[in-house]
Amino acid sequence: MVGIAAGVTATAASAFLTYSVRAPSAAVFGASVYRGGQERRAVALTFDDGPSESTLSLLEELARQQVPATFFQCGANVERLPAVAREVRAAGHEIGNHSHTHPLFCFRSPWFIETEFRRAQEAILQVTGAAPSLLRAPFGARWFGFRRAQRRLRLLGVMWTVIGYDWRLEADSIVARVLRGISNGAIICLHDGRGLRTNPDIRETIEAVRRLIPRLRACGYSFETVSQLLCPTT
Ligand SMILES: [Zn+2]
């Protein structure tokens, strides 16, 4: 019986840890938002892992459809492609912090986690002239020390309401996933990069965005940056 009880406890502890690290709504390792207010018919498109060589094509599509978005950028990518990072900012999009080198934080030290976000914060500020107020953990995985890093850098954690799995799905499936998960105040997670990889193929993402925007507009949704979605007066 003791063995069974211990096994159940270990299973429950493991499930709780998985929830704490991964679940968009979990706040165990630090406060995060995963959606905006549900009273307005607005949503936010977010793109992680850029800037990349492929980001400019996405910017063209967003400009063509006149949609603002939020880009959670990696500091190392910003240093590698400063002109692209500046283009994102110049186009009026919001830039958030997605760590410097896109590591998985599980089992890393609080110092390591804070240093990752601090380096990215400095790189983004230096290159674009704007300091992010939002951060998103690489792989959405938070860990011990994440809360302290957020507090010391004064960054609000942002997860997502719906994630498109756009790094492995085709445009049709990405669109279907997002439409299934959409509602007022939704934060949609897509990608304009693949970690620190050069020349990532994001054609399915761009095609999904091209189709999604008119579909969502037809349902009455408008598009905002994450900060606009969370604080409608800004
Ligand atoms: Zn990422």
166 is catalytic: no
Catalytic residue among 98, 100, 191, 192: 191
Contact 52, 205 (CB under 8 A): no
- 192 CA to centre of ligand 1 in angstroms: 9
- Residue-level pLDDT at 29: 60
**Pairing relationship of beta strands 94-97 and 222-223 according to DSSP bridges:** unpaired
Q: How far is the CA of 101 from the centre of ligand 1 (A)?
A: 10
> Residue 168's domain is classified under what CATH number?
3.20.20.370
- Give the model's pLDDT for residue 3: 67
Taking the C-alpha atoms of residue 218 and residue 119, their distance in angstroms, rounded to an integer, is: 41
CA of 104 to the centre of ligand 1 (A): 10
Placement of tokens 């994630």 in the chain: 163
Pick left, alpha or beta for residue 71 (phi over 0 → left; psi -120 to 50 → alpha; otherwise beta). beta
Instruction: Given the residues 48, 49, 166, 192, select the one marked as catalytic.
Output: 48
State in Å: Cα 14 to ligand 1 middle: 24
Among candidates 118, 49, 55, which has minimal Cα distance to 89? 55
Contacts of 12 (CB under 8 A, 6+ apart): none
- Tell me how far the alpha carbon of residue 38 lies from the centroid of ligand 1, in angstroms: 26
Distance 124 CA to ligand 1 centre (A): 16
pLDDT at 2: 58
Averaged in consecutive runs of 10 residues, what is the pLDDT profile of the chain (234 residues)? 68 77 70 90 98 98 98 98 98 98 92 97 98 95 88 94 97 98 98 96 98 98 97 71
Beta bridge partners of 46: 70, 189
**Both structure tokens of 177:** 């996933």
Query: Distance, CA 138 to ligand 1 centroid (Å)?
Result: 4
Q: How far is the CA of 217 from the centre of ligand 1 (A)?
A: 27
Q: What is the pLDDT of residue 142?
A: 83
Using CA atoms, how far apart are residues 26 and 30, in angstroms rounded to an integer? 8
Q: What is the pLDDT of residue 18?
A: 79
Total domains in the fold of the chain: 1
Q: Rounded to whole angstroms, how far apart are CA atoms 119 and 100?
A: 6
CA 104 from centroid of its chain's CA atoms:
14
pLDDT given for residue 1 in this prediction: 55
pLDDT for 24:
79
Q: 8 C-alpha to center of ligand 1: Å?
A: 33
Could you tell me the residue range of the domain that residue 24 belongs to? 2-230
Cα(72)–Cα(51) distance, integer angstroms: 9
Please give the model's pTM, rounded to 2 decimal places: 0.91
Q: Do residues 178 and 188 touch, judged by C-beta distance below 8 A?
A: yes
- pLDDT the model gives residue 10: 77
Question: Is 191 considered catalytic here?
Answer: yes
